[in-house]
Chain A
Amino acid sequence: MTVAVRTHDLSVRYDRVLALDAVNLTLDEGQALGIVGPNGSGKSTLLKAIAGLIAPASGTVAVFGGAPRKQPPGTIAYVPQVEAVDWSFPANVYDVVAMGRFPRMHALAPFSKHDREVVDASLDALRIGDLRARHISQLSGGQQQRAFIARAIAQEPRLLLLDEPTTGVDAATEEALREFVRGLVGRGMPVLMTTHDLDRAAEWFDRLMVVDRRVLAEGDPAAVLDSGAYAGIREHVHTHGHLRVDVAEESPHA
């Protein structure tokens, strides 16, 4: 089995703030790894560093054995948590999903039959085929999320990074997304995903990682949740009203 992602002592800084501290992570092909942690724990930063959007302060990130930015175009598909795009941009759902093909296309090459088929299949897979002609400003939160995941799929990536795709979507959409992502993983796609939803973690993921700047726990989802690593963070936040970095010392896995 090929290793899709490997980080070694990965640390990321924003100016003077240490966002990630010596994170070691391995993701194999055909595996879904869930990342949980409180707000501000560095979950999104971890995905961005793996996508090559943020340079590590120290340590290394390897995607398929090389630097993320050295991968051929189309290798990594990243779906950010809140799409900070201009929703009045002149584009409908089809246009947005079609952009997924762009990284793999040559300059001046026409949009081929294959490209159209992949876009259609991606729209259908996310069940938004009937929304194809709708302008992006007229989508619900869940529909927006599905359109951007469809774009990621249309890219035919080798690695899928999802940042809280289930936040703000209804239960039916969440279930449909989960079935879809599990299907991808079953066909060998490595998936790295952050989430707040602990209840469904065992159904989503093969492995679960608790991150709060550092890795607090990692392993089988049920075992990680039973260990109380995440509960420890929650209680601390609850009692003190804010997060402190000494949580790591209190948790059993630290």
Chain B
Amino acid sequence: MLDALLAPFQYEFMQRAFVAAIVVGTLCSTIGTYVVLRKLAFIGDGIAHASFAGIVVAYLRGLDYYVGAAIVAVLTALGIGFVTRRAKVSLDTAIGVLFTGAFAFGVFLMSRLPTYNIDLQGFLFGNILAVSRGDIVLIVVLAALVFLVLAIIYRPLLYTSFDPVVAEASGIPVALIDYVLLVLLALTVVISLEAVGIVLVAALLVTPAATAYQLTRRFRRMLALSAGIGAVCAVSGLYASYYLHAASGATIVLLVTFVFFVAMISKRLFRFSV
């Protein structure tokens, strides 16, 4: 049993993958609590797709993928914040137009290259086993930064998420808090791209938090439960993918989806809550 648990760790790339899984699982599901309560799931998904354009442009310029993805993701997040406050079109329409457009731009640029060695499938579906030593440092540092800012703005962010109008009247800088949250969401998406990929990152943002939401009616507990579910599922999913010889990102997402339905059904059956 112990051998089976430790077996994957004989490979250095698996050690790195486990670190990445824990960090990405915890971070996505923590910020996911706000994503679920503020109904930003579509935004997270859109930021992920738009960042693909940044990856391709970074490749063309010989820059690090992360830099390109981060710049585009943060700019798109800020653009969304601006559109939400000013524009007359509905938000989901604006996101639908802009993000698919940006994603198409990335595919367009890439398809015109005579030869390309961007791992397209890796970015779409994630390849946590390919996380390098440098990636790990970047992931850990950026995740620590996101957690730190989340802790600093914890109370104004909670108030703003629940009741923005009254929060603003009381003197909380609601617009600033909204923008900061969007930037943190963009950074989270970028950190997660290599581990779970563009297509699946939305699941890690939404499903653990939605599962926690089923189980508790207190905010702090939802936050803690969501983070716990995200971390445990990411690690167990990675184990499962190792033994099943399956794609890690997809296995992790399947696991959180399974846990979500278990929580939903057991809540109905046992009226169970934390």
Please measure, in the bound complex, the distance between the C-alpha atom of A76 and the C-alpha atom of B167, giving whole angstroms: 10
- Helix, strand, loop or mixed for chain B's interface? helix
Within 8 A of A (CB), among B220-238: 221-222
Does B219 interact with chain A (Cβ within 8 Å)?
yes
Please measure, in the bound complex, the distance between the C-alpha atom of A44 and the C-alpha atom of B229, giving whole angstroms: 44
Which residue of B is nearest A111, CB measured?
B155
Interface stretch, picked from A82-90, A182-190, A203-211, is A82-90
Does A1 interact with chain B (Cβ within 8 Å)?
no
Which residue of A is nearest B170, CB measured?
A103
Expressed in whole angstroms, the minimum distance between the Cβ of A71 and any Cβ of chain B is 6
Does A135 interact with chain B (Cβ within 8 Å)?
yes
Q: Type the 1/0 row for B170-186, where 1 means its CB is closer than 8 Å to any CB of A.
A: 11100000000000000
Expressed in whole angstroms, the minimum distance between the Cβ of A119 and any Cβ of chain B is 13
With A105-B155, A135-B217 as contacts: A80 and B165 at CB distance below 8 Å: yes
Does A77 interact with chain B (Cβ within 8 Å)?
yes
Please measure, in the bound complex, the distance between the C-alpha atom of A108 and the C-alpha atom of B259, giving whole angstroms: 33
**Contact call B158/A99, Cβ cutoff below 8 A:** yes
Which residue of B is nearest A99, CB measured?
B159
Instruction: Find chain B residues with CB under 8 A from A108 CB.
Output: 151-152, 154
Most chain B CB inside 10 Å of its own CB: which residue of A77, A85, A92, A102: A102
Within 8 A of A (CB), among B148-205: 151-156, 158-159, 161-163, 165-172
Does A161 interact with chain B (Cβ within 8 Å)?
yes
With A90-B217, A105-B155 as contacts: A80 and B166 at CB distance below 8 Å: yes
Does B84 interact with chain A (Cβ within 8 Å)?
no
Q: Type the 1/0 row for B119-163, where 1 means its CB is closer than 8 Å to any CB of A.
A: 000000000000000000000000000000001111110110111
**Contact call A53/B218, Cβ cutoff below 8 A:** no
Per a CB cutoff under 8 Å, which of A74, A86, A92, A135 touches B162?
Answer: A86
Per a CB cutoff under 8 Å, which of B166, B170, B219 touches A73?
Answer: B170
| Chain A residues packing against B (C-beta within 8 Å) | 51-53, 69, 71-80, 83-86, 89-92, 95-96, 99-100, 102-103, 105, 107-108, 135, 148, 151, 155, 157, 161
A-B contact pairs, 15 of them (CB 8 A): A53-B169, A73-B172, A74-B171, A77-B170, A78-B170, A85-B163, A86-B162, A90-B218, A99-B155, A102-B158, A102-B159, A135-B217, A155-B170, A157-B170, A161-B169
